[in-house]
Structure 1
C-alpha cells in the first residue's frame, strides 16, 4: 500500500519524492546553464534533464490542482491571484539582480524561471473550462493549442504565453488523471503494467545512451523541448515536437517506476519545491551577475567542472530548502485575497 508521509498530513510520499527529484533537476539545469554549451559533460546532463523534467513537473502540478477548489467546486481565484503576484515579484527580483532596466517591456518578457508561476495562474484559470469539457474534448483542445502555439513567434517570453500553451496538455493530463490511478499504476502487480514500466526504463536508458555517444543526437528536435521556440522548419519541427512529447512521456514513466513510494529525503525537498524554485534562481542570478564564478575556466572541465556544478547545485538546494523561505511564499500562495471566493479544501 502507498505510504503517506507523516511529516505532512495526508501527503502521499510517492509524489513528494517525484517532486523532490524534479526540483533537484531544475536546480542542476539552471546552475549548469551558463556553462552547458562549453562543458561537454554538463551539456549531456543538461539535455537529458530538459527532455522530461518540466513536462513531468507540470503534470504533477495539474494532478493536485483539482484539490484547490472553492466551496462551489470551481477553482479558487485566490490561487490565480497568488500565482500571478508571485510571478510578478519573482520577475522583478530577477531583473534587479540581473541589473536590467525595469521597463514595461522587460517586465513582460518572462524568458526565465518566473514563467512557470505565471503559467500556473493561466492553467488554474483554465481548469474550470477543462473540467466542463471532459477529458476527451479537453485534451484535444489542450493539444491543439499546444501545437498551434509554435506557429506564432513568442520567443521573447511575452507574458509566458508560448510556454503556458506549449505545456498545457501536461497540466490538463494531470487535472484529468485521478491521483489514485497513478498510485495504482506504480503499485500494480499486473505483469503487463510492470513490463510496460520496465520497457520505459530500458528505452529511457537507450535515449540517454544515444546522447552520451553522440553530442548531436537530439539536435533535430531539441529546440522544441523549451516550449517557447516557434516552428522554423515545417514539417520537421512538428515531428520534433511530437518526438519531444513522446520522449517526455517515456522518461516520466521510467521515473514513476524508479522513484520509491516510501518517505525519503527527497520527500522533504518535495514539500519545499516553491521555496527552492524561487530561491535557487535568484542565487544563480546573483552568482552570474555579481560574482566571477562562471568566468572560471575550471568549470569547463568535463570532470572537475561537472563535479563543481553538481556540488554547487546541492549546496544551493539545501540552502533554499530552508522552511522559512517556503513558508513565506506559501503564505502568499494561500492568502485569501477575495474572502467571498470561499474557503479552499486542500
Structure 2
C-alpha cells in the first residue's frame, strides 16, 4: 500500500469526534436529563464507528514491523490511560475489563493481531495480497461480530474488550478495504446520492431521538450479548436482533454522511493530528471528574469545554508523544 499524504479534512473530522468522545464520557452521570439522553443516542450511533473506520483506513497492516511497533506503542498508551483508573477504583478490574477510553486502545491492538496472526499467517499468501478477497474478509468480520453478539458470556464477554473488538471489526475492515482497493477515504459520489444519504441520515437521527434510552445506548456500545440484554431489559431476543441490525445500518449511513458533509476550517483541523493525546487526557480525567462531581447536563457541557481547552493549551507546550507514550519518550525506547 502506498504511503498516504495527510488529509487535513480527516484531521478535522477526528477532532470533531474527539470532542464528541469527551462530551459522551462527561455526560454519562446526567443521562436522566432528556436532552442529554437523546444527544447521547445520536453521538454514539456514529462517532465510534467512524473512528474505527478511519483507523482501519490508515492501518498499514502489510508492514509487519511497523504493525508490531504500533501495537507496543498502543499497549503503552493503554497502560497510561488505565493505570490511573485502577488507582482511582482500587482494583485491577479496569485493566482487565476496560471501559470508557481503554476499550478502544486494546481493541486497536486486537485488530492488528487479527491481521498479523490470523490473516497474514494462517490464511495464506492469497489473502496477504488482498487480491479479490475483500468480500471474504468483510464476511469474516461480520460473522465474528454475529458470533460475539450471540455468545452467552456475561462474565467474560468484555474481558480485554473482546465483544467490542469483534462487534466493531466490520467498520475497521470497511476502512481497510477502501484503502487497499485504492479508493479515497471520502467517497466521491453524485449530488443525487449525497441527497439520498442526507435524508437517510436524518431518518437515522430521528430514530435515535424517538427510541432514545438505555437499550439503544447498549446496542450502540457493542459491549453486551443478546442473551444478557434480553434478561436485563426483559426484551424479546428476535426484537433485539432486529434492533441490532438497524443500529448497524444506521451507523454505516451516518458514518459516511459525516465523512462526506463535515468540512471544518483548517485552523481546527490542525488539532486533529493530536487526537490520540486528547483521547488519553480525557480518558484519564473525563469519566473520573464527571462521576466524582456528579455533574448535571449543563455542568457536563462546561466540564467538556474545560477539558478540551486545557488539553489544547497543554499540547502547545508539551509534545503529544510525551503524553501518549511517556515511558518510551523519556527512556528513548524504540519498539
Once the two structures are TM-superposed, the CA of residue 183 in structure 1 deviates from its matched residue by 4.9
Match of residue 136 from structure 1: 135
Kindly provide the CA deviation profile for residues 187-241 of structure 1, in whole angstroms up to 9, marking residues without a partner as x: x4xxxx32222222222223323444x3x35666543211111103422222222
Distance 2:186 2:257 in 1: 15
Paired residues of 1:52 and 1:252 also in contact (CA < 8 A):
yes
Distance 1:91 1:205 in 2: 36
Q: Structure 1 pair 325/51, CA: closer, same or farther in 2 (3 Å)?
A: farther
Kindly provide the CA deviation profile for residues 35-90 of structure 1, in whole angstroms up to 9, marking residues without a partner as x: 11x11111110110011111110000011012x654xx665311112212221332
Match of residue 52 from structure 1: 46
Distance 2:248 2:327 in 1: 30
Paired residues of 1:20 and 1:267 also in contact (CA < 8 A):
yes
Q: Does 1:114 align with 2:113?
A: no
Match of residue 113 from structure 2: 125
Match of residue 269 from structure 2: 267
Paired residues of 2:77 and 2:325 also in contact (CA < 8 A):
no
Once the two structures are TM-superposed, the CA of residue 314 in structure 1 deviates from its matched residue by 2.0
Once the two structures are TM-superposed, the CA of residue 251 in structure 1 deviates from its matched residue by 0.8
Kindly provide the CA deviation profile for residues 138-159 of structure 1, in whole angstroms up to 9, marking residues without a partner as x: 1111110111101222566311
Distance 1:163 1:333 in 2: 28
Q: Structure 1 pair 334/126, CA: closer, same or farther in 2 (3 Å)?
A: farther
Match of residue 206 from structure 2: 209
Q: Structure 1 pair 106/12, CA: closer, same or farther in 2 (3 Å)?
A: closer
Match of residue 227 from structure 1: 222
Q: Does 1:43 align with 2:37?
A: yes
Q: Which moved more, 1:173-182 or 1:45-54?
A: 173-182
Once the two structures are TM-superposed, the CA of residue 181 in structure 1 deviates from its matched residue by 2.3
- Aligned-pair Cα RMSD in Å: 2.8
Match of residue 30 from structure 1: 25
Q: Which moved more, 1:128-137 or 1:279-288?
A: 128-137
Distance 1:52 1:231 in 2: 21
Paired residues of 1:58 and 1:171 also in contact (CA < 8 A):
yes
Distance 1:160 1:42 in 2: 26
Distance 1:184 1:246 in 2: 18
Length-normalised TM-score, structure 1: 0.78
Name which of 279, 282, 290 aligns with 1:280: 282
Q: Structure 1 pair 288/222, CA: closer, same or farther in 2 (3 Å)?
A: closer
Paired residues of 1:109 and 1:158 also in contact (CA < 8 A):
yes
Q: Gaps spanning 5+ residues in structure 1: where?
A: 1-8, 300-304, 340-346
Paired residues of 2:37 and 2:213 also in contact (CA < 8 A):
no
Q: Give the aligned length.
A: 305
Distance 2:43 2:186 in 1: 26
Q: Structure 1 pair 267/238, CA: closer, same or farther in 2 (3 Å)?
A: same
Kindly provide the CA deviation profile for residues 283-336 of structure 1, in whole angstroms up to 9, marking residues without a partner as x: 22442455xx325xxx2xxxxx44x43232122112223322623145569879
